[in-house]
Amino acid sequence: MIKGTTTRTISLCRIRRAAPKAGIKSDAMENKMTPRQVAAVEEVAKQAGLNPICPPNAGICRSFDRTICAKILRLRYLKSKDFNSQSNIDDTEGQCHTFTDLNIHNAIIGTGLKVQLLLYTRENPNCAQDLNEDNSTGFQYLNVTRKTVFIIHGYRPTGSPPVWIDDIVKKFLDIQDFNVIVVDWNRGATTVLYHNAAANTRKVADILKRLIDNMLSQGATLDSVYMVGVSLGAHISGFVGKMYNGSIGRITGLDPAGPLFNGKPPEERLHYTDAQFVDVVHTDIDGLGYKESLGHIDFYPNGGTDQPGCPKTILAGSEYFKCDHQRSVYLYISSLKKNCDLVGFPCKSYRDYRIGNCTDCKEFLPLSCPVLGFYADKWKDHLVEKNPPGTKAFFDTAAKDPFCKFHYYLDFMTWSSQTKRGYITIKLKSLDGNVTESKLDKDHATFQQYKETSLLAKFDQDLDQISKISVTFTTGSIIGPKYKLRVLRMRLRPLTNRDRPILCRYDFVLLENIEMEFIPIPCEDTNL
């Protein structure tokens, strides 16, 4: 310990001894102290000769003590700004704040910009506190020693709150003891004039910078700041990051807005230089989303367009316009649940991915292929070291939560003398009788003698122990002769769960349109 710090540290860590004298039970100090109680503790501590200096980096004290210090520091800040009047404290204590709920009338007449910063923690998971300078109560829940997640919505043409807000907040708090701050700029995002909402993005970023500066003054670090931005919110995150020269910890962009941002230079949109790690999900690149890559890694589920389960015609009403765009949010929430991994395959294009050209992920060893969502930062070191940065990853999803498809690499070696073209349907059966199917019917496959034909098969279910496999070959023609496909070897290699065995079948004949079922065996070739 550095000479001269012992007395101060002991005094700091003994602040809690003053609590009973202030009429506060010691077991209630960390999470339930009001600003007046904090002031009482500080005053009694001073009278007892315990000088509560409260350095923000008092790591040698327990988190219990650091929480009290953060509250005392915040109270001092409020006093210095004359925001701690008795009326302010009494009016705000115990009050829950809610996301601004507007309607189409507000969108038509327009709304001036007003931002609520709604804080949720494990101490107040169902009662948001607004972190504005008039609400001292809200700041008592803000522990700057925690990681802070900002959730920033986008354009709101009808004024209603995002339906996913409560779910994403809950999932974050289930994972870790975060400060979760919902950035409610509904007054400013609700308008029939999209360009007005887009113009407000930099103003929202300025407001967020003031809050983050305040947090930094209390001991927070930029490393601990994580911004999750949806649509216009993704660009707001980028503008905040630029003001800190890319030093904030992480930005996740969920289908960043395309209109008014496509083709703009990096200083006018989200860019990978805006944070230490930037990951992006694109689900509507032919509509409301940004077309090109923006981050250290950009995920393109289903190629970034036409998400499964979303309406294909305008007859579906508003869902036709927003479903693809919002799917990025639901994919991210699915990653927080950790039911299954949404594995992406780095590739030049969606077509290359679909024909099985991008399946090894050797560049990420000893890790596997990267996954979309909250846990994407496990691949951060590999991704930020690329020169130049920028990795595109493609994969397909199911239509419903948890959205996962389970990928297998399927290849055939045939010995038919004539070249055959057709489609494969493959079914997997487990020991307990479950069945999952993959129809490889988007592009026909070409089977040539003694040449390997590779296909990418995707299944909706994850079958751990495969007991049987069935395969059907078809040319898609309803006239003409029926063909035979003579197979020298068929090999099935798991890609989503690479630790599972590679399965084979040797020397069999597929009759067109006839399903053939067999028991697979471990492959003989160990150099696969």
Residue stretches of the annotated binding site for Ca(2+): 269, 274
Q: How far apart are CA 451 and CA 443, in angstroms?
A: 18
Residue with tokens 């496999």: 469
Q: Which of 153, 325, 328, 335 is catalytic?
A: 325
- Catalytic, 255? Answer yes
Q: Are 447 and 419 in contact (CB under 8 A)?
A: yes
CA 2, chain centre distance (Å):
42
Q: Which of 97, 130, 153, 231 is catalytic?
A: 231
Q: Are 341 and 371 in contact (CB under 8 A)?
A: yes
What is the DSSP code string of 399-455? SSTT---EEEEEEEEE--SS-EEEEEEEEEEETTS-EEEEEEEEEEEEE-BT-EEEE
Peptide bond into 161 cis (omega under 30): no
CA 286, chain centre distance (Å):
21
- Catalytic, 231? Answer yes
Q: How far apart are CA 389 and CA 276, in angstroms?
A: 12
Q: Which of 65, 130, 184, 255 is catalytic?
A: 255
321: left (phi over 0), alpha (psi -120 to 50) or beta: alpha
Binding residues, as ranges, are: 269, 274
490: left (phi over 0), alpha (psi -120 to 50) or beta: beta
**446: which 2 tokens?**
């070409």
70-92 burial, b if ≥16 CB within 10 A, otherwise e?
bbbbbbbbbeeeebbeeebbeeb
459-478 burial, b if ≥16 CB within 10 A, otherwise e?
beebbeebeebebbbbbeee
Residue type, 341: D
CA distances from 18 to 35, 64, 67, 76, 141 (A): 15, 14, 15, 18, 21
Catalytic residues: 231, 255, 325
